[in-house]
Chain A
């Protein structure tokens, strides 16, 4: 360890910036969570204060959970997110392995093509995607969303995992080949465990935009049976009256799974993010 440089003013400055940034990020979330536990009068009377005996009210949660559909929305979100995540990680890791491990003619070109997907937002293709889904009779199915999100998540997953896989010792893979391991065993048993931090990182960065997405659920799966949480929460936002208690409670609940996943992955995540820096 290099001893921390003593430059108190500079360090204080850095910390000030970090604290301000943290407050900026967490402020809105905190506001949502705080107000979800208040009565309507509490929310509008003193939006910035913590719930107290007078304003504490679980009416929002009662409304949300009382409305049976909400649990279904939650389930839909889970199915879509877990399905997409599994597909992105599996196919992303396999593509990354193939691109980094095997030399073949179209290797470079294929890598470039996949990298292109990072730069072009998938929403630009919404109309075409909707047409495709209609033609394939996939509108209002979980599969439609899973396919879209897999396409959306793959480019960056392949890119990041490919970088990490290039770092896995070539000799190790060759030792496996000499020991008679199949390419699949080498991939699953030797390489994947070694890039676990990168996989966790990709998992978190892939999952959050999928869970939070409003656009594609609204367009390709707005039906009652396939509605996701984020879309479902919108029913409480009316054109004339908005049930703020319910909206805030729904949003708070929607944060939970992401939080749980983050806690599960956080150790690996930090290792993944700092892997290049700490050697």
Chain B
């Protein structure tokens, strides 16, 4: 129940091509996250799956059934929006049950399903309140509850955590992960936050400029990014990219080293002065000026060391990439197999 197949999905708004041919298969029960910078077409793709927008070309299949032109309410989906989109004039209970009463579900059945969902999301005490009387986190839980009561085969989330503050975001993220385990339903989740993507997903779909750059399990993307974009997007702090001689010696146009894969010592492959240090306690980020190395982008190498290491701005350090942790890219930006 709840498999999804997209084939050659295209979407244009006037002359602007927002999606340029997206193919994707999602197995039943899978948690798939679309991730990418904002404006890359994630929401548009999700809205096409939901039936809120019509694709310019291509097919959407849910559970093997062709969904082109089928209205959203008949696709067996439920959607959670970033802005919650609760009905302001209805109570929490009514917000959750509206779709069911539209479908003509029996009243007793509706009550039971609302009760189950509200127990799951700890909403019991709030059922008679209106959305205006709830906090942001409670509103988002109601929105998720509204999706659950419909017992859809496919859940769609569009940046559901983006309007929450940092602490609440982590809590709700864990709750969504639990929910996926309990319900076993298929979930498609859109976010621009790679941490959410890495922590929630069975599989991540990295999007950029309307095309899918890579699809894979989180650690697969981390270990074997297909190209420069994925390499730079997955991982935090972002990967160091180096061109010039250093890359040429590795017979590549660009090489990449993750900050956590740079060993700091007195001497190293690249030496320079610390220009800035961020000390978080558990780990320390050093930004090192390396004048003789062609670092792309910021012009500084970033390194991440575990623990609180006492380096000061101006200290000279040497940086050496760990054995086998250097990513190589060709002139077109694609990964060169090791």
* Interface status of B151 (Cβ within 8 A of chain A): no
Q: Given the interface contacts A177-B52, A190-B87, A194-B88, does A171 sit within 8 Å of B82 by beta carbon?
A: yes
**Could you tell me if B81 and A175 are in contact, using CB atoms closer than 8 angstroms?**
yes
A169 to B79, CA, bound (A): 15
A215 to B93, CA, bound (A): 54
**Could you tell me if A178 and B87 are in contact, using CB atoms closer than 8 angstroms?**
no
Instruction: Give B90's nearest chain A residue, CB to CB.
Output: A189
B81 partner residues in chain A, CB cutoff 8 A = 171, 174-175
* Interface status of B71 (Cβ within 8 A of chain A): yes
**Could you tell me if B73 and A177 are in contact, using CB atoms closer than 8 angstroms?**
yes
A193 to B72, CA, bound (A): 24
Q: Select which of A169, A180, A181, A194 is within 8 A of B85 by beta carbon.
A: A169
Q: Given the interface contacts A177-B72, A178-B72, A179-B73, does A169 sit within 8 Å of B78 by beta carbon?
A: no
A176 partner residues in chain B, CB cutoff 8 A = 87
Q: Restricting to A166-199, which residues have a CB under 8 Å from any CB of B?
A: 169, 171-172, 174-181, 190, 193-194
**Could you tell me if A172 and B87 are in contact, using CB atoms closer than 8 angstroms?**
yes
Q: Restricting to B131-148, which residues have a CB under 8 Å from any CB of A?
A: 146
A171 partner residues in chain B, CB cutoff 8 A = 81-85
* Interface status of B182 (Cβ within 8 A of chain A): no
A193 to B88, CA, bound (A): 10
Instruction: Give A181's nearest chain B residue, CB to CB.
Output: B102
* Interface status of B239 (Cβ within 8 A of chain A): no
Q: Restricting to B75-102, which residues have a CB under 8 Å from any CB of A?
A: 77-79, 81-89, 98-99, 102
B73 partner residues in chain A, CB cutoff 8 A = 177-180
**Could you tell me if A175 and B79 are in contact, using CB atoms closer than 8 angstroms?**
yes
A193 partner residues in chain B, CB cutoff 8 A = 89
* Interface status of B188 (Cβ within 8 A of chain A): no
A180 partner residues in chain B, CB cutoff 8 A = 73-74, 99, 102-103
* Interface status of B212 (Cβ within 8 A of chain A): no
**Could you tell me if A178 and B99 are in contact, using CB atoms closer than 8 angstroms?**
yes
A179 to B98, CA, bound (A): 7
Per-residue B-contact encoding for A188-220, CB less than 8 Å = 1, 0 else: 001001100000000000000000000000000
A172 to B84, CA, bound (A): 8
| Number of chain A interface residues as a range | 10 to 19
B98 partner residues in chain A, CB cutoff 8 A = 179, 181
* Interface status of B50 (Cβ within 8 A of chain A): yes
Of A176, A177, A180, A194, which is in contact with the most chain B CB atoms at under 10 Å from its CB? A180
Per-residue A-contact encoding for B284-307, CB less than 8 Å = 1, 0 else: 000000000000000000000000
A181 to B102, CA, bound (A): 7
**Could you tell me if B82 and A179 are in contact, using CB atoms closer than 8 angstroms?**
no
A180 to B103, CA, bound (A): 7
Q: Select which of A169, A177, A190 is within 8 A of B71 by beta carbon.
A: A177
A177 to B98, CA, bound (A): 11
A178 to B149, CA, bound (A): 13
B146 partner residues in chain A, CB cutoff 8 A = 175, 179
**Could you tell me if B89 and A174 are in contact, using CB atoms closer than 8 angstroms?**
no
Q: Restricting to B50-73, which residues have a CB under 8 Å from any CB of A?
A: 50, 52, 71-73
A177 to B82, CA, bound (A): 16
Closest Cβ of chain A to B91, distance in Å, is 14
**Could you tell me if B85 and A174 are in contact, using CB atoms closer than 8 angstroms?**
yes
A171 to B84, CA, bound (A): 8
B99 partner residues in chain A, CB cutoff 8 A = 178-180
Q: Given the interface contacts A177-B73, A178-B73, A178-B78, does A169 sit within 8 Å of B102 by beta carbon?
A: no
B52 partner residues in chain A, CB cutoff 8 A = 174, 177-178
A169 partner residues in chain B, CB cutoff 8 A = 83, 85
B88 partner residues in chain A, CB cutoff 8 A = 172, 194
Q: Select which of B77, B84, B89 is within 8 A of A178 by beta carbon.
A: B77
A178 to B71, CA, bound (A): 8
Instruction: Give B152's nearest chain A residue, CB to CB.
Output: A178
A190 to B79, CA, bound (A): 18
A175 to B86, CA, bound (A): 8
A179 partner residues in chain B, CB cutoff 8 A = 73, 98-99, 102, 146
B47 partner residues in chain A, CB cutoff 8 A = 174
The 3 A-B pairs with the shortest beta carbon distances in the complex, nearest first, are A180-B73, A179-B99, A171-B85
What would be 22 A-B contacts, judged by CB atoms less than 8 Å apart?
A169-B83, A171-B82, A171-B83, A172-B85, A174-B47, A174-B52, A174-B81, A175-B79, A175-B81, A175-B85, A175-B86, A177-B52, A178-B50, A178-B52, A178-B77, A179-B73, A179-B98, A179-B99, A179-B102, A180-B99, A180-B103, A181-B98
Given contacts A172-B88, A177-B73, A180-B73, 19 further A-B contacts (CB under 8 A): A171-B82, A171-B84, A172-B87, A174-B47, A174-B50, A174-B52, A174-B72, A174-B81, A174-B85, A175-B79, A175-B85, A176-B87, A178-B52, A178-B73, A178-B77, A178-B99, A179-B99, A180-B102, A181-B102
B interface with A by C-beta (< 8 Å): 47, 50, 52, 71-74, 77-79, 81-89, 98-99, 102-103, 146
